[in-house]
Structure 1
């Protein structure tokens, strides 16, 4: 049996059962669901107390009360811990520990005159059933997503990563509302420096409560001022296990369906596990398309504003004539026109995301068509700009990660302002500042633009493009894993017929 004694100041035992009942009910005076029952046998008394809706009633009856009230068990702490067929038995002496564990589904047994109280964790948890991830959609590959249950998520990971080297370190974070956090990695592959860095950040975190993995990520990121996410988040167990097998670290938070993957680079947010399930040339095309979409979404509308405002000479003459005709009735300068349309697109996107699914889809489609047509007919904007804004919006949707897609959307606004005020010079100035900022960023101490900076050419085929599997025999050199080799390159290239 697992027995771990909690000692320290504030020991309230031994205590009369009546006094203990009064003390607990005074603490839970606003909670009528505290169950406190006293049992007597000869000259002995024992109390069993818990919160009704927090525990599994069947387990309390079958595995705890039935043996406790039998004749075989003496009403002492040692006898209860040894005879009751449950492995989660612990003893507590401090009132604060008792109150905290009552709130998470613990059942307590107090034998009168003992100096501590016995506890068994029989919590009842309402879990969402396994279903497809709603934030990350895939055409090929496993589609099951994480849930809010830590037990379920760990079970999925164990089935996905069947290795004896898999480590699941447990941390309890939160002073007022403690929550379980797991640090997950493969001991034989993950870099020791990365493990120690993440371990230190989790251990030194001193907060009241960690509401979600997205909140935890903000606490442990390298930089808290940047707009770029430094850790990757996912709801897909297959993406999680893929990164664990390649030497990265994973973090799970209790009551959160999203996992954290670290370290991550800028290019990690444009990768999809779907690229692995397609042929290498198709996966390369899709990956390059996402990178191109990032530049289009960030620079297309600012370039239009700069060209129309300062650089008419770079626009072909036939297009310039049509552009002049479409803008003839527009009373606003291009910068205000572009900002108005971009803001309208963001309003439609945000309202569609917050409304119920069917209503949100209707708002997004109908609203975009109606408002766009009305804006052109009213002379508020030109039809050419609507095309550029629509292309920019579509390009921002190609990022597989929602956090990076949101970042791209926000970046457009300062770039439009720079293009409208300084022309192409302003766009180059903004792009230079952006590159300098990315060069300075790190993720868990690793360069954010790796493998471009610092340059690691061997990792290009894993990040910028894909090659056939026989050329993917090594893990990322940039992360310095303990075991760089995935499989023997010679064996991967050999192909034998059945008669050989």
Structure 2
């Protein structure tokens, strides 16, 4: 045990010494290329008359800035120290380092290593190449009234968009590195003095505890940050809208941005908030309440309507009105399958059409969904594989899943109805109730960053009911939701607000 400990100590000391910057250009060049596996895009430029050499990765830097801001100012000049070079250059982000590992990582982040022969330190000048698309419209969370901008894959651009909405000195941004190989830059965004410090500390620790090769998108990070990885229900929100993120930040929530991803993670999140849209705040409270009620009715239709059909036709004919029963009997006269097989077959075909339409190009996908649904539905009824009434029920269920503003929650609704159909086909209404009770108990057990998932209904928080399934006028919603445990509870003075209403 002693020899093992002694060996590890010596090895650690040796590796620490080897990580220092070499003092000769030849050794620096060899070491830099070896650490980058002699990659073909390595650039090595020797400039000036005092032995200045630039090391960089050509595909990650801005060539125009390289020549304009570094090569041209240093050309034909003599320097005897790194400090004088640093004072001569007018680059915004430049720092000194004597560690080889830090220099190589900086090169992978779009920095140019400025090396002066005979010095044990280098300068790291950041001139990254800006590759990405410009700010455009939101593709998956469109709205009629309100801003139309969406996040891009550039972390700098996304933070700029948030700052354009929240021009407050209390807006804090913390940067962390995630991924042993990708070294992704992750930013935690919150408003200091408003957000719960305990929540920020917990989120920061979760991100720091992630040990894996790399994270390429916010959706992957969201799965790693979730408290229960086995549940199908999303515990954090993914959004592409900067106005929605800003609104949530003002309510005391925390946002997480990942460099290279156009989606922001926002937490904590309750089940009810997945059925709320940013456009609800941009219209009158009566219209917003109608929209929210419509979404919850659509949720019921999508999850339970097909299961009710299967249960009624399999076990509970007595609940069907007599006039409708004759129509159902005629519709199902030629169908050779029991209701459960008939429903599962049509639901499966509907999911195939939806998935095919999503994966095909936009114009082709729309045509595929419309034509495919009409042709297959008509042919299935004519061939006697299904009844025309079930076609209507399946279509209403599909429309109900599309009404949900959140894409991730919409996917959950699509999947949850399959086990409910099977339970309804096996045990009728009793099976449906077992499935409903299981879902309810499962949701009661979930939490998002320590906050209850079914808030404000469990535990009961009557003050937050004003902005849940219904939305009362803005003068009644002056208090931030208890879900976020915000330190600053009020958005504005309620007494002054009521004077203007």
Shorter-chain TM-score: what band? over 0.9
Query: Residue 451 of structure 2 contacts residue 484 of structure 2 at CA under 8 Å; is this kept in 1?
Result: yes
CA gap 1:84/1:8 in 2 versus in 1, 3 angstroms: farther
1:141-290 matched pairs, under 5 angstroms? 141-290=146-295
Tell me which residue corresponds to 1:20. 28
CA gap 1:82/1:357 in 2 versus in 1, 3 angstroms: same
Corresponding residue pairs, total = 487
CA gap 1:415/1:77 in 2 versus in 1, 3 angstroms: same
SS in 2 for 1:307: helix
Q: 2:320 aligns with which of 315, 320, 334?
A: 315
Superposition RMSD in Å = 1.6
TM-score (norm 2): 0.94
Q: 1:348 aligns with which of 329, 339, 353?
A: 353
Q: 2:342 aligns with which of 326, 337, 346?
A: 337
Query: Residue 48 of structure 2 contacts residue 75 of structure 2 at CA under 8 Å; is this kept in 1?
Result: no
Structure-2 separation of matches of 1:92 and 1:207: 27
Structure-1 separation of matches of 2:21 and 2:415: 59
SS in 1 for 2:214: coil
SS in 2 for 1:294: helix
SS in 2 for 1:119: strand
Structure-1 separation of matches of 2:174 and 2:48: 43
Query: Residue 269 of structure 2 contacts residue 453 of structure 2 at CA under 8 Å; is this kept in 1?
Result: yes
Query: Residue 10 of structure 1 contacts residue 93 of structure 1 at CA under 8 Å; is this kept in 2?
Result: no
Cα shift readout 1:261-296 (whole Å, capped 9, x = no counterpart): 100000110000111111101100101111111111
Query: Residue 9 of structure 1 contacts residue 94 of structure 1 at CA under 8 Å; is this kept in 2?
Result: no
Structure-2 separation of matches of 1:424 and 1:349: 29
SS in 2 for 1:397: helix
Shift of 1:84: 1.5
Gaps in structure 1 of 5+ consecutive residues: 1-6
Gaps in structure 2 of 5+ consecutive residues: 1-14
SS in 1 for 2:43: strand
Query: Residue 188 of structure 1 contacts residue 482 of structure 1 at CA under 8 Å; is this kept in 2?
Result: yes
Tell me which residue corresponds to 1:52. 58
Is residue 362 from structure 1 mapped to residue 375 from structure 2 by the alignment? no
Shift of 1:103: 2.4
1:97-176 matched pairs, under 5 angstroms? 97-176=102-181
Shift of 1:245: 0.5
1:403-442 matched pairs, under 5 angstroms? 403-442=408-447
Structure-2 separation of matches of 1:203 and 1:28: 26
CA gap 1:372/1:184 in 2 versus in 1, 3 angstroms: same
Tell me which residue corresponds to 1:63. 69
Shift of 1:61: 1.5
SS in 2 for 1:180: strand
SS in 1 for 2:18: coil
Cα shift readout 1:370-420 (whole Å, capped 9, x = no counterpart): 000111111111111111111100001110000000000000100000000
Is residue 39 from structure 1 mapped to residue 47 from structure 2 by the alignment? yes
Structure-1 separation of matches of 2:448 and 2:277: 19
SS in 2 for 1:423: helix
Is residue 11 from structure 1 mapped to residue 25 from structure 2 by the alignment? no
Query: Residue 48 of structure 2 contacts residue 74 of structure 2 at CA under 8 Å; is this kept in 1?
Result: no
Structure-2 separation of matches of 1:365 and 1:127: 34
Structure-1 separation of matches of 2:20 and 2:450: 47
Shift of 1:256: 0.4
